[in-house]
Structure 1
Amino acid sequence: MANYVLAYHGGKMPETPEEGAKVMEQWNVWIKGLGDSMVDPGNPVGMSKTVSAKGVTNDGGANPLSGFSIVKAESIDQAIEFGKGCPQLDAGGTIEVAEVIEM
């Protein structure tokens, strides 16, 4: 089994505290449902800066990261299946899935 990063992009933030509580409950149900496959539920992230050979920009790049989780799966296909149940998709966001290569 390998670890996979689920990198979250986009999505909307809850507009009210009540909506925020409902969204957090959806995340908690999804996380608990993955059991031991959830290595690190991660967190949302703030505005990022992009560092390149040309300098630093404050735009977060073409597709800014909005959060992440790390899951353990038999294959990238299984990690994708885990991602399909993630509340990030209900918020209008996307999920990029990549294997963590052990060095």
Structure 2
Amino acid sequence: MNDSTWTTVDQLKQWLDDKDGVAPETARLMRILKLQEELGEVAEAVMGAMGTNPRKGASHTWDDVESEVCDVILSGMVLLATLTPDAGKKFDERLSIIAERSLA
């Protein structure tokens, strides 16, 4: 990821901080819950794309699934930026560890 991505994430985090009006401890918890909410939306979209919910049928497309996955990633990035001011560095370090372990 490039620096402008993390700059945008930091701006979104700051926007949320300014708008939600909760203590930092509560903001962390709410952003963890938001990540879980977004994961649920991925599951709903997958079931809708596969038409496996008898009540709703084919209610989503795979494009919807892709969009929901992006929402999960973005929510995770905002959460990471909430947990540490060095989110980009932390992410890059973790990516390197996982890539080295998996691709070696």
Give the TM-score normalised by the residue count of structure 2.
Answer: 0.31
Higher relative contact order (CA 8 A, sep 6+): 1
Query: Which of the pair has more CA radius of gyration?
Result: 2
Q: More helix per residue: 1 or 2?
A: 2
Give the TM-score normalised by the residue count of structure 1.
Answer: 0.31
Q: More strand per residue: 1 or 2?
A: 1
